[in-house]
Amino acid sequence: MGKEEEEEEIGKELFPDILREEAVSRLNELGEVSDADGHLERTFMSPASKKAISLVQIWMEDAGLRTWVDQMGNVHGRADGMNSHAEALLIGSHLDTIIDAGIFDGPLGIVCAVSALKVLKIRGKLGNLKRPVEVIAFSDEEGVRFQSTFLGSAAISGTRPASALQISDKSGVTVQDVLKENSFDATEESYLQLKYDPQSVWGYIEVHIEQGPVLESVGLPLGVVKGIAGQTRLKVTVRGSQGHAGTVPMSMRQDPMTAAAELIVLLETMCKNPADFISYDKHCNGFAAESLAGSLVCTVGEISSWPGAINVIPGQANNPNLPISLVTFTVDLRTMDDMAREAIIFEISNRMYQTCDRRSVSCIIERKHDAEAVMCDPGLSSELKSAANSALKRVAGEIQDKVPVLMSGAGHDAMAMSHLTKVGMLFVRCRGGISHSPAEHVLDDDVWIAGLAILAFVETYL
């Protein structure tokens, strides 16, 4: 066999037609499945979500997987291998998007996993797996509609009670209502039955875009995730009184908008310089000062006012007969150290209440979501690093041992699944570190290498 023929044979073994061309085509196809014209928007159990569920189920069946859609709209594709009763490897990510999203956040992990198993099917080895492998496309990770993340993976991992069915959106429609509209049972019993038995699961892995610039800066397509930052979401409601914009003197106003503005600036200042607000000795309540300074991020994502008319302002102070005026905003707070996160939330809350008292407005701070920081399993991480090195070697033709180890500041379904089993993650390079945006982009070859890495990981169970 000549050199050109040998290279062509090696090229075929890398399955670029499935792991690159078809995978990229499917990502683009999913990117067109949207509830909006002009931008990508696919939220929990929306019409576009249901179309995406059908597409993914078809692709799973094409890969030789047994498929079903569970009572929360999660799509499952399973290969039982030689022993259907052995502990299963789960591979997953999410199908839902934010509003005005990119096409890779979530679907990349699903498409690459399905493509890797399709390669095994074509090679006639799907039935030779020593343990079952199951791909799960989770129905809701972003939490856009119901402001509560991980609805899909939390049901499977059992991290949320059946009361999650009663969470409502801004229109008062509950999760249960939406599920029933789509012919799901949506009972407490059916919800609780979704939880997997931990004894039936061997581990969980997830492939996801990095959503940051590190991999691009070091010139590598893949990185192994060491852990995921803990996260708290707050809803802050500031309540004042209405008045006429032209008749209430500035000195007599009870203004929740300006109070909210001061609270937001206070939040930013504290999160940029936490050491100026929390007293440290080398440690404070068991956490190191560096754990805040190095990883703390705080974001105000939404703000709204009521009634919001141009000529209506919060009015006279200390007048209970005036109608109320409200300003609400959300806070997303993350850090790698859970004790540090609790300390900063405590301090922020106290200072916010003090500010509201000084301004004669009331302030309510609600915790809407909490997720503890998650450390990935060292054994899984080591195997994923080997798989990533194998994929890089197969494509580049040389030995690589440079796969970096990263921390994730973004939340992922792996956070919920960590309550069920050990977890591991691979990050894939994205251009400019941009995510949650139409500008989100992953190179075709990086999609290919991610698929090869999953294939290499699964091949160890043949």
User: CATH no. for residue 249?
Assistant: 3.30.70.360
CB atoms within 10 A of CB 454: 28
On the question of pLDDT at 4 being above 70, the answer is no
- In terms of domains, do 225 and 268 share one? no
* Entry pTM: 0.82
On the question of pLDDT at 442 being above 70, the answer is yes
Contacts of residue 281, defined as CB under 8 A and 6 or more positions apart, other chains included, come to: none
Instruction: Please name the amino acid found at residue 141.
Output: E
Q: What would the pLDDT profile of 356-401 be if each residue is shown by its tens digit?
A: 999 989 999 999 888 889 999 999 999 999 999 999 988 887 665 6
- In terms of domains, do 79 and 213 share one? yes
367 within 8 A of 232, measured Cβ to Cβ: yes
How far apart are alpha carbons 325 and 113 in whole angstroms?
50
Q: What is the pLDDT of residue 301?
A: 85
- In terms of domains, do 158 and 289 share one? no
Q: What would the pLDDT profile of 181-210 be if each residue is shown by its tens digit?
A: 999 999 999 999 999 999 999 999 999 999
- In terms of domains, do 239 and 219 share one? no
Q: What is the pLDDT of residue 316?
A: 45
Closest by CA position to 425, among listed 387, 397, 372, 369: 387
CB atoms within 10 A of CB 192: 13
Q: What would the pLDDT profile of 12-47 be if each residue is shown by its tens digit?
A: 679 999 999 999 999 999 999 999 999 999 999 999
Q: What is the pLDDT of residue 9?
A: 46
- In terms of domains, do 236 and 339 share one? yes
On the question of pLDDT at 162 being above 80, the answer is yes
Structure tokens at 184: 């799901």
Of 369, 394, 413, which closes a domain? 369
Torsion of CA 283, 287, 293, 297, to 10 degrees: -150
Angle between helices 444-459 and 107-122 (to 10 degrees): 60
Bigger pLDDT: 404 vs 245: 404
- In terms of domains, do 292 and 409 share one? no
On the question of pLDDT at 281 being above 80, the answer is no
On the question of pLDDT at 238 being above 80, the answer is yes
Q: What is the pLDDT of residue 158?
A: 96
Q: What would the pLDDT profile of 283-335 be if each residue is shown by its tens digit?
A: 445 555 555 666 789 999 889 988 766 555 554 444 555 567 789 999 999 98
Task: Give the total number of structural domains in the chain.
Answer: 2
Of 324, 345, 369, which closes a domain? 369
> What is the mean pLDDT of the segment spanning 262-273?
94
User: CATH no. for residue 43?
Assistant: 3.40.630.10
Structure tokens at 340: 């540090």
Q: What is the pLDDT of residue 249?
A: 74
Instruction: Please name the amino acid found at residue 242.
Output: Q
What is the percent of the chain where pLDDT is above 90? 74
- In terms of domains, do 129 and 221 share one? yes
- In terms of domains, do 351 and 324 share one? yes
> What is the mean pLDDT of the segment spanning 206-216?
96
What stretches of 210-293 adopt beta strand conformation (E)?
222-228, 230-244, 283-284, 287-288
- Residues of the domain holding 142: 3-229+374-460
CB atoms within 10 A of CB 264: 17
Angle at 380 between CA 378 and CA 384, to 5 degrees: 115
Q: What is the pLDDT of residue 187?
A: 96
- In terms of domains, do 73 and 179 share one? yes
Q: What is the pLDDT of residue 282?
A: 45
> What is the mean pLDDT of the segment spanning 137-145?
96
Q: What would the pLDDT profile of 48-88 be if each residue is shown by its tens digit?
A: 999 999 999 999 999 999 999 999 999 999 999 999 999 99
- In terms of domains, do 56 and 205 share one? yes
On the question of pLDDT at 258 being above 60, the answer is yes
Ranges 5-9, 267-271, 439-443, most confident: 439-443
Of 346, 369, 392, which closes a domain? 369
- In terms of domains, do 32 and 69 share one? yes
How far apart are alpha carbons 290 and 296 in whole angstroms?
10
- In terms of domains, do 286 and 217 share one? no
On the question of pLDDT at 92 being above 90, the answer is yes
> What is the mean pLDDT of the segment spanning 210-238?
94
